[in-house]
Chains A and B, each alone.
Chain A
């Protein structure tokens, strides 16, 4: 690890990668917790893949791909949220369609953009080593946005995630808060695209929060632990990738995936051995 430390001091792009990874972990810890407790992993997957459409269009017209990604993610979040609320019966078919059509649009536009086809891979699988200084500011801004929104709307978000029907009966504007929640997920997806790419986003959004859910039992603690876990996974993944010359995004995801598997196996073994989960004995 010491050679990584030396390299960190030496190379600006590694510092950027490191800071980018830490910033992304904040968003994914907070919004990932909602994705896990509300079980909207499929929706989040749909949003992240649709983003390719926006990036492709932005690319074609010479605009900022990250800006295009942000717009596309928000549009996708509203579209998918609307589908979910209005056509509950055909939800999975429709979200699958939005997902695929978004990607197809992106690929068409990228194929018509001369000379840039190489970059397709970095959108799909991320390229944390290419994070620029101004991207970091954008990421920090998006983190701040997510953090403020969750602080301000902690209770309505909790109410809508916990029991939609009851919240609606109490007069909470459920549709508004549901769509707002999905928009914040969309913002987080854009944060994470730089780090792991839009295909792998869903893993970094759900795995740290899913591990956290095995150990802590309030939403706030889950967010905190998921953020810390996300930071550890990106750091370890980045270090491993640097030393073994592997793609960073994929390595980070594998680190997260292995930890999730390990945590689940240990948890199951403990449960079987002691009859009950150790976390069951939460005192008042």
Chain B
């Protein structure tokens, strides 16, 4: 591997049509890190991810993915969005949805080889959805769908995995399962995960970025009630815990 940071943002500002959503954001994420991004609603979390993915262009500042502009660097990114960007009742099987992760650049993106199908199957094994391969997407529960989307992202063979609120609509037990899986995946890839639940993710990530228009980074152990109440602007109850 090289010394280039996985993701680098320098003085990035962004606004849709009104006031700034992000202002002067700096971030440098090394390869192999597990970053949690937290912050209030409309604090710019999803916007930050879209800038990294090259889906949005910053008005000021610079974004780099593995040392390159996002539109090139994003080939190395596996992405799981917050809301499915497709219709739940779309007629497609789990196996084919995961195979979409193997689409390649160019004019015939769907010339899948056996190797592509094998990689897709491995991704499904890793997220434990092989049994669902023949099922239609609309028959899945929220937790199953999330695992399928994770498999699709893994099928891209990414160096960076980006997840936007991966566990927003599923129950606590499955949330733990998914984060246990992310912890394993972190051994071979950089992970950025957006979450609203700072207490929960601080058990897994090694750095937390608090985003509310501007960004502040904390190492997990430094997070206490003061940080959280500054970020959210109100008293938040939190259980004191020590990292082993």
Contacts and interface: CB of A to CB of B under 8 A. Distances in A.
A154 interface: yes
A172 to B, nearest CB: 5
Contact of B109 (A156, A163, A217, A219): A156
Given A217-B136, A284-B131, A167 B92 contact: no
Interface stretch (B77-85, B169-177, B195-203, B232-240): B77-85
A169 B74 contact: yes
B50 to A, nearest CB: 10
A162 B90 contact: yes
Given A155-B109, A282-B135, A166 B100 contact: yes
Give the interface size bracket for B toward A. 35 or more
B83 to A, nearest CB: 10
Given A37-B91, A165-B85, A284-B135, A155 B105 contact: no
B121 interface: no
Nearest to A219: B91
The prevalent SS among residues of B at the interface is: loop
A162 B105 contact: no
Nearest to B110: A155
B75 A219 contact: no
A218 interface: yes
Given A155-B110, A165-B55, A284 B134 contact: yes
Interface string B85-104: 11100111100110011011
B139 A282 contact: yes
Nearest to A165: B85
A218 B92 contact: yes
Given A171-B105, A172-B105, A284 B92 contact: no
Given A162-B86, A216-B91, A218-B93, A171 B131 contact: no
A169 B77 contact: yes
A154 B108 CA distance: 10
A280 interface: yes
B119 interface: no
The prevalent SS among residues of A at the interface is: helix
A153 B55 CA distance: 24
B207 interface: no
B231 interface: no
Given A165-B81, A166-B152, A172 B135 contact: no
Given A166-B85, A166-B100, A171 B91 contact: no
A101 interface: no
B132 interface: yes
B91 A213 contact: yes
A141 interface: no
A137 B97 CA distance: 38
Nearest to A171: B105
Interface in A24-48: 37, 39
Interface string A36-80: 010100000000000000000000000000000000000000000
Interface string A143-164: 0000000000111101101111
A222 B132 CA distance: 21
A198 to B, nearest CB: 28
Interface of B: 53, 55, 74-75, 77, 79, 81, 84-87, 90-93, 96-97, 100-101, 103-112, 131-136, 138-139, 152, 156
17 contacts: A37-B91, A155-B112, A161-B90, A162-B86, A162-B97, A165-B81, A166-B152, A167-B103, A169-B53, A170-B100, A170-B104, A170-B105, A170-B109, A172-B105, A282-B134, A282-B139, A284-B131
Given A163-B85, A170-B103, A172-B105, 5 more contacts: A162-B100, A168-B55, A171-B104, A173-B106, A213-B91
